[in-house]
Structures are given as C-alpha cells and as structure tokens.
Structure 1
C-alpha cells in the first residue's frame, strides 16, 4: 500500500457546507483519509506536500457532455471563430484547398446568431459559392442545426422528393427544393453515410483519451457522457471500458444512452471509474432554431410554436419503460410546453408506482412558468442546466420569448433554487465551452464572456458562488447517486481535487472566468499540471 501523503498549508474549500474549510488533508490509496489541520495531517503522513496557501476545491463534474462528439470535433473544421457569413465562407474555402476533391468536409461550431453581416443559416448556395467540388455539412454550435451544400445533399439523398421521418427537420424553398438547412434526425441520416475518420477502435480510444486530458486541464475529474443517436452524437461503451482497463481514462465517466439497453442492466452498473448512467430522451429541439416546443408562438415568428418529438402518450410510455426497468430517466426539454409534457410524464409514472429515490433528470429546462416550477418542486427530480447558454443566447433569446411574463422565466435558475430544486451544471460540450470557471462566472454575474450586459441579464436570477460551484461538485455527485463517494472533500471519499491559481470565493466575481487550474488530481494521482 502506498504511503499516506499530506497536503498542507492550503485554503481548502470542502464544499460540505457553505464556508466549510480546512488547511490540510491526507490521501492514501486513492481516498481522503483525514481532513483538518496541518499538524495532525503531518503526523499521519509519510510524505508532505506544501500547497503554499493555494486554493483547493473538489474535483469538478460536468453533468452534460457529448464526449465522443467532442473528441471527434477535434478532427474537423473548427468554425467557432467565424464572426460573419463572409468569414465562414473564407474559412471553408481555405480549408478545402487541402482536401482532395470529392472528399467530405465536416465543420463544427459556428453561431449564425453572432454573425455581423447576416444571422441567417448558411444555405447550399452559400456553401456552393466557395466549395462546390466537395460534399459539405456544417454543424451549428448547438449540434441541432446543419447546413449542407448541393453535393452533400445529393450524396445524402435529399432532394425535392425527400420526406423526412420527422416533419419540419428539412427546410424547403419556394421552388420545393431543399435549401440545405436541416436539423436533428434528417441531418443524422446524412452523417451516417459519411466515412468516419475515427472508424477504427484504436482511433476512437486515442481521441477520447485526448478529450479527457483536455477536460482535466479545466479541473474536471468527472463527466456525464450522453449519447444522442438522432443527432449522430454517438458514445461507445467498449471504448471507455478499454481505456479504463488500460489505465488511460483520466476522468470518471457516467455513460448514458438515448436507447434502452437490450440486456437487463440498470443505472449504476460499473465501478468508480465507469458506470452505466441514465436513459436519455429528447422531447423537443432548441430555441436558436425555433424548434423548442412552446405553449405560445415565438415572439419573433408567430407562425410557429416549435416541434415536439413525441405525443404526450408516447413520451409517458418511454419514461415508464425506463423507470420500470430500474433506470434513471432524463430528458432534453427547452420549451415550456415540452417541460409541461415531461412533468406530466414523470408525475404519471411516479405516482402510479412510487419507487424510492429515482432522481429523474430534467435537462436544460430553458423556458418555464410558475406552474411548472411548483409541480416539479414536489417531484424527485434534478434539473441539469447549462450556464454557458447565457453567453451564447444573451443577445437574441429575449427576442424569441418576448419581454413579458414568459421572459421572466428564461433560464430562471434562482427561481428553481428558491423552490428547493437540486440543480447541476453541464456544458453540453461540444456545443459550449466546458470551462467550469466560465460557467460559475455566468451563474453569478448573468453576463457573457464579454461582460455584456452591464447590469446582468435578468439580474434577479443571479446566484451565489457556493451554490454555483455546488452544481459542479456535491450536486453533480448526487445526480449520479455517488454523493457518498465524491463531490466534496471528506475522509472516506475519492481523492479528486483541484488546485486553483486564485481564491474563487475571495476574488471579484467578474474575475472568476479568468481563474486557471494549476493542478488536477484523480484518486490522488496527478492528471494535469499547468507547470
């Protein structure tokens, strides 16, 4: 057994309770064995590490990522820097020069709502102007909307006679021809036909290992990796298992799928490094593309209320199917009507057969209303939010929902907190930045990374630093039924911890986004060092 190591002279926030601190802890065999003062820690240790007054927090857990999609995105054209349609075209044109004619080009990360010249989605004509001799498909940062050029549409079998499985997922022009703009399952049909650069098992493993190392750089020691097959956001259990067996997995993974397993397994199967997580449903689309399912029409497009992927009965049946198999059930909901549907489904299946501690996951919950908040406060649910939606949505979301009562319930996180609802934070990576410090900054200040707007966006929804950081630590562990083994710094728990370069509780809140991780430890082992 390795000798116990004492870490002393630190400013250690245990996250056991607000303001709870210690100066030292001891780590042995991957766990904390003592938390308290320097003198006692030194007595118990075979080795001593001086933290030199540095701030230490528990290892952070991102409760919503499409991890393999992020790993895959590292091999594609990154369009996040594009600030205009013109720049997007230039980047595509330049990238295509190094790709053999006829070979697919995949791009990711653009946000047309931020474009300076036009906030319209790129059409096939836009892409054809600069890249007509390659099939092209570009994913908007949200991973729900896509732009495809003419050759891509042809290879994907999408023409004026094409009828998508889900109505409204392909845009057709006045001439009846597809414009090249599509979403979700329709785009997934095309993506499924594209040769995969990560087709081999070893290539998949290498990509996921690198992705986890990137997460460690930002203090993440855990991640809930979630499949979205209908958006071609795949995950592969065998990849994670193999990495774990080879000692190459540097983050603990709670792996979830949007399909029920074809064998009799339940939530929690696995070990401290890799567990089977929850059954994921997708109730509606997203707000950016006006496919989130709303009770009332969009304020900036009264012709639509969005799209639901299920009827109420279909959704209830799917929630029941997972619940009755002893699985945790989670669902993507953006619009208030979709939130009502999911609330009804959970109420129905839970009250007809109450089971102890099911911890349903309600994911995003972007637009709510007082009735929804009241109803879910009485249910065994967790709300998984994405704080960085503030950064990407701040300049246009109000236009979707208006500035009346509905607007007051846009990302209403303080209202949820005040109602006693447990919340966790995730990034939806690769849609958004996965740096937890940027998310805590957004939660506390209600501003984007450019510090806009000056007074904060719906500032009455700001929350404190402790509650914000809890979403990445103690609450995140609770979401995966692991609150007894991680999420706080306490004797007996896994020794996952992070050393920061500034005091997150003592610094000006506007500077939280600039905090850097100095070191990340997983089970007492160093998995990232800035120096």
Structure 2
C-alpha cells in the first residue's frame, strides 16, 4: 500500500509541477476529441492551449506543427469533450445535503423515521434535525406522512424534512411548537398547510407555507459557507462539471462567492442567479451584474419562483389535478408582482429566470416575458423558464417566438414517470417533459439536473434524455419515447446550449480558438457506448482554464 501511495504521490507531484501556475503553452495529442462545428460534433486529435484558452484544434495528428517545442502530454486515446455545464443546480443545498439526513429512496414513512432516529442518536448536539429526499409517491398508499409519526420517536428536538423536490416539508410537533403553528394559523399566500379532517395541521407544509417553519432554523454563517462551497464544487468537478448555474442564491451566498473569487478559490465556474425572495434583492439588483476575473464567477440573472412542484401538487395547472378534484396547484406570487420585479431586474441588466412547472405557471410566465420583450432588445430578452415541465401544446411554439430558453432537467422525466400521468391525465401529459416537441419548434433547451433534488451526475441526465428510461432500463422502449433525443443533442444540452443560456457561448461550452480550455477526459466514448449504459460513463479528468481540477491518479496523462 505504501508503495502504491508513493507512486501515486509522485505522479501527482509531477503533474502539478508541469502545471504549477497556468501553463503558457501546452499541447495534448493522441486524443479522441469532439467539438461542435456548424451544430455537428466533429472529431479532433489534439488541442493546443495557451494561457488557459484554446489556441488551436488539430483534426489530424499530421496537422500539428513540427515546429511546436512547448510542453506536451499524451492523451492516451481518451475521449475529450467540452466541459459539461449544469444549467440548474443548487450548490449550497448540495453542500448542506451531505451534512443532513438522507431520505432519498426511503421505502416508507416508517423507514424515513428510522433514518431520522439513527441520525439523532449519532448527532446528540444538533439543535435541529434536518433532512431531505422523502417522496410519498414511492411509498405504499402514496399518502403524506404526519408529525405524529415523528413524535412517537422524537419529541425533544425539532425535526424538519424537505421533500425530494424541495417544495414540501415534514415537521414534528416540536418544530411546529417553536414556529407557533396551530389550527388557527392561516395558509400564507402561495402556500398550504395540510390539515386533518378537524382542521389541525398534520405536519406537512407546501411551498410558501414552508417558510413558517424554516425561518426558525439558524442559518449557517458566512465563514461556514465560504468553507462549504469549494468542497461542493470540487465534488461536482469529479462528475465532469466545469460550470454550474446556481439557481437562486441569497445575499450571504453572493458575499461568499465574491470572497472565493477574489481568493481564486473557485475550482469550477459558477453562473449565479439572485434569489427573488431574498430580503436584500433590491440592493443586489441595483448593484448590477458582476463578472469576476477569468469568468469564474458571473452574477447577472435572477431566479423568480412562480409555482410549486408536481409531486406535491403545488405546480399551477389551468385545470384541476387528475388525481385531486378542485385543486389546481399554487401560484406563489401574483403575476403583477412578479412582472414588476422582472422589469426591475431587466432594467438593471439582469437575465430573468422564472421557475414554472405547471401548464398555467408556464403560460403566465410566457405572458410576462412577452411584456418584457417589448421593453428590451432581442439579446437582452434571452430570458429563461426554469423546468418548463408541463406545457400546453399551443404554448410550445411561443418559446422560440419569444426567444425564451426552456431550462430543463431530463432526469426529472424518469424520476416522475411513476406519478406524472396520475397528476395530469392522458392529454396534458403530451406537453410534459416534451423535449422533442420543443426542439421541433426551434426552442434551444439548456440541460441541468436540479441537484440535490436529483443526482448531480450529468451523465444521468444525458442517459435520461436519450433513453427516457431509469437505470433498470424501464420502461423497455422508454417513457413516451417520441420525446427522446439523440446522444449528440443531449450532449449539446449540457455544453453549448447551457453556455448560451448564460450568455457565455463565446467563452465556454465548446472547444474553439479563443474559448477557455474547459474540458473533460472520459474512460468511455458516449457516442460509442450502448445508450442504456450512458449513465455509467466515467470521468477520468476535469480541466478548467487549461488546468486540471480533478484527475484520477490511475489515468495520469503522460509527459512527452
């Protein structure tokens, strides 16, 4: 073991010596590389990097100038792609999720409670027990859990457990007591307290009602956040991500990112969206967009919540849910209020990104953008709808017409397939997760994962986009297979399209002269593997601005 460790450390030391500081000149050859040219993926054999940017791409080994005398590495025939970009994730949430109770794939409410108890026993000093990931749709009976289920095991400490989609929370009685929740507590606008037949709160809080509990949970400090964020970003780099669009950050996270950018402590790029619900959002908007040195941090967009999620029946629909009469979901804010904030953001140079999942949420978001477009140039109106999950068929052509980007997460389709049609019925489902219909109507889709709601691995999303199957290859032909994408299209969602959705298509998202040298090396070729195995593709190395931020010791590139 010691011999292996010494060998590994020697390799890493050699590697770091080659790249101490940003290498001025570097050539990596013997590659099975791919770049986008005229909307097609084209092969190449070598990449020339200068000062962190792509200087040249060589289609054939014979194209490499014989006069080149700089540093050179052998790519050993590995597949190189532009660095992958997640157009919708939650980095702080990803970091915190690793410190909380994991309830994803819990088999029942009882199983969730068991996990909470085990976590409580191993963390005796925690004042609040927090977790995330439960999904009642996957449990027997598909019913919401209750505070009583938690109270039987945990009465002395408050418990707060967020649903997998983050749009519902499950509290015990201690947490409700701290928050002052009783049968007389009214539902807040854009939220719902689930009650029993006698009107008593059951412990489930939907969308804006979640704030009644969460506002009593102590926030982590700025210094704790500064320590947590790089660790999370390094974990994301291991998955092949060179950039993430952080979907909704508060003023403290803005300060944390700026500090990290100033200290050159961001391992990958962050395109951050201000949270429209932050108490300091007016000041943040008035301060205007921010772009750091070398484009590691960009803050030039705002995230506005419009409705809830499908799984918790908070997504706003035009007509009642198919599995709940007289219930159409929730609009979290009146359209007029959202329009005013969107106008303010646009006037100060910010892109507006509206969270909309239900067909009514999407319709009204498009209406807002239609009004915004009259006040801005076509370039400035490159706004987004985050999720674009359920869309009326007649609304699908409006995305391209209004130059609105549907920012979608393909893995949601394979996660939601067990409940989506129950919620929507056989007709509305035709406009749900409708990637092919959107693309056929000239919409440019940006791809993401919505981590930690879903796993952050981008190849999971690429696999879902191509197969419409889960990891067990179900259903056999794919769920609504007419909406499948090709491998080439799916990869574009997570490269060029995501870059375009951040006004960065001339900087990242492809490997062209003048672009930042952000790329990944893979153990398998996504264009060649069985499509059902796409989620198994392994990342050998991740580079940002011509420097390695992640490298498997066993796949060290050889100095020539």
Paired residues of 1:225 and 1:235 also in contact (CA < 8 A): no
TM-score, with structure 1 as normaliser: 0.94
Q: 2:397 aligns with which of 370, 374, 398?
A: 374
Question: 2-side partners of 1:354 and 1:503: how far apart?
Answer: 41
Cα deviation, 1:239-292, whole Å, max 9, x if unaligned, reads 112222223211111111123441534345434111113111111111001111
Question: 2-side partners of 1:512 and 1:105: how far apart?
Answer: 36
Partner of 1:240: 257
Partner of 1:276: 299
Q: What is the CA-CA distance between 1:228 and the residue it aligns to?
A: 6.3
Structure 1 residues 129 and 351: CA distance shift in structure 2, 3 A: same
Structure 1 residues 42 and 137: CA distance shift in structure 2, 3 A: farther
Q: 1:58 aligns with which of 70, 82, 96?
A: 82
Partner of 1:133: 156
Partner of 1:78: 102
Partner of 1:96: 120
* 1:337-416 superposed matches below 5 A: 337-354=360-377, 356-404=379-427, 406-416=428-438
Query: What is the Cα-based RMSD across aligned positions, in Å?
Result: 1.9
Structure 1 residues 268 and 487: CA distance shift in structure 2, 3 A: farther
Partner of 1:187: 210
Partner of 1:334: 357
Partner of 2:179: 156
Partner of 2:516: 494
Structure 1 residues 165 and 41: CA distance shift in structure 2, 3 A: farther
Q: What is the CA-CA distance between 1:137 and the residue it aligns to?
A: 0.6
Q: 1:18 aligns with which of 29, 40, 55?
A: 40
Q: 1:469 aligns with which of 491, 502, 511?
A: 491
Q: What is the CA-CA distance between 1:376 and the residue it aligns to?
A: 2.2
Q: What is the CA-CA distance between 1:3 and the residue it aligns to?
A: 4.2
Question: 2-side partners of 1:241 and 1:121: how far apart?
Answer: 40
Partner of 2:275: 258
SS of residue paired to 1:113: helix
Structure 1 residues 434 and 410: CA distance shift in structure 2, 3 A: same
Paired residues of 1:145 and 1:181 also in contact (CA < 8 A): yes
Paired residues of 2:161 and 2:169 also in contact (CA < 8 A): yes
Paired residues of 2:261 and 2:292 also in contact (CA < 8 A): no
SS of residue paired to 1:276: strand
Q: What is the CA-CA distance between 1:350 and the residue it aligns to?
A: 1.2
Question: 1-side partners of 2:233 and 2:379: how far apart?
Answer: 33
Structure 1 residues 63 and 41: CA distance shift in structure 2, 3 A: farther
TM-score, with structure 2 as normaliser: 0.90
Question: 1-side partners of 2:545 and 2:96: how far apart?
Answer: 27
Question: 1-side partners of 2:275 and 2:348: how far apart?
Answer: 15
Structure 1 residues 269 and 3: CA distance shift in structure 2, 3 A: closer
Question: 1-side partners of 2:169 and 2:69: how far apart?
Answer: 56
Q: What is the CA-CA distance between 1:73 and the residue it aligns to?
A: 1.4
Question: 2-side partners of 1:56 and 1:432: how far apart?
Answer: 26
Question: 2-side partners of 1:507 and 1:489: how far apart?
Answer: 22
SS of residue paired to 2:430: helix
Are 2:142 and 1:119 equivalent residues in the alignment?
Answer: yes
Paired residues of 2:85 and 2:241 also in contact (CA < 8 A): yes
More helix by share: 2
**Long gaps (5+) in structure 1:** none
Paired residues of 2:413 and 2:464 also in contact (CA < 8 A): yes
Question: 2-side partners of 1:192 and 1:508: how far apart?
Answer: 47
Structure 1 residues 447 and 195: CA distance shift in structure 2, 3 A: same
SS of residue paired to 2:344: helix
Cα deviation, 1:192-213, whole Å, max 9, x if unaligned, reads 21234x32x3321121111001
Single out whichever of 248-257 and 37-46 deviates more from structure 2.
37-46
* 1:166-315 superposed matches below 5 A: 166=189, 168-196=191-219, 198-199=220-221, 201-227=222-248, 236-259=253-276, 260-262=281-283, 264-267=286-289, 269-271=291-293, 272-315=295-338
Single out whichever of 3-12 and 80-89 deviates more from structure 2.
80-89
Q: What is the CA-CA distance between 1:371 and the residue it aligns to?
A: 1.5
SS of residue paired to 1:180: strand
Structure 1 residues 320 and 4: CA distance shift in structure 2, 3 A: same
Paired residues of 2:190 and 2:207 also in contact (CA < 8 A): no
Q: What is the CA-CA distance between 1:103 and the residue it aligns to?
A: 2.3
Single out whichever of 13-22 and 341-350 deviates more from structure 2.
13-22
Name the count of aligned residue pairs. Answer: 523
SS of residue paired to 2:36: coil
Cα deviation, 1:55-96, whole Å, max 9, x if unaligned, reads 000011111111111111111111124122221121112222
Single out whichever of 53-62 and 17-26 deviates more from structure 2.
17-26
Q: What is the CA-CA distance between 1:45 and the residue it aligns to?
A: 4.7
Question: 1-side partners of 2:125 and 2:226: how far apart?
Answer: 29
Partner of 1:437: 459
